[in-house]
Amino acid sequence: MRVLATLAPVAVLVTQAVGQLSVIQGVLSGIQADVVAYGNAFTANNAASIGDTGDKLLATTTAGITTVQGATAVSLLDALSLRTSIQNLQNAVDVTYDNAVARQPAVEALGIAGDVHADFVAQRSTVAVLGAAIAAKVPASVRPLAQTYIDNIDASIAAAIEAYA
């Protein structure tokens, strides 16, 4: 009985820590799904779809900021396990924004290049805030690594902004 009383608080803490990791991974996974949908809209060359999926991506990222800011810090091991989620998101961002750059003439022909440029600027700003929120939740020892991933995502969006300027 005494052992159970001692282990119960530890079990609660472990459950909360894993829960925080799941929350942050869920945010990243949701954003990744929206990034892929955004890329598919560019591939389909559909003006309405590009606008709608861009709006959804921005809304999901904005909601993710609030969620991550409300989460508690994660452990070193949890932070390292976030690496896969962040790498998957980075890969999706690279593919989507490279595709958007390649399709810039087609987007221009649709008459929405200015709107897309404005969306990219808003997305970049929101990603910067989300990145800062995530970096604040990981131990200081891995913040430089987290910042590297954030910088790589930012670079992909910045290249798209430049292409549409």
Q: What is the pLDDT of residue 44?
A: 98
Give the global pTM. 0.87
Task: Determine the angle formed by the axes of helices 76-102 and 113-137, rounding to 10 degrees.
Answer: 170
In whole angstroms, give the CA distance from residue 4 to residue 111: 66
Average pLDDT for runs of 10 along the chain of length 165: 49 48 95 98 98 98 97 93 93 98 98 98 97 95 93 97 97
For 9-38, give the secondary structure using H, E and C. HHHHHHHHHHHHHHHHHHHHHHHHHHHHHH
Q: What is the pLDDT of residue 17?
A: 44
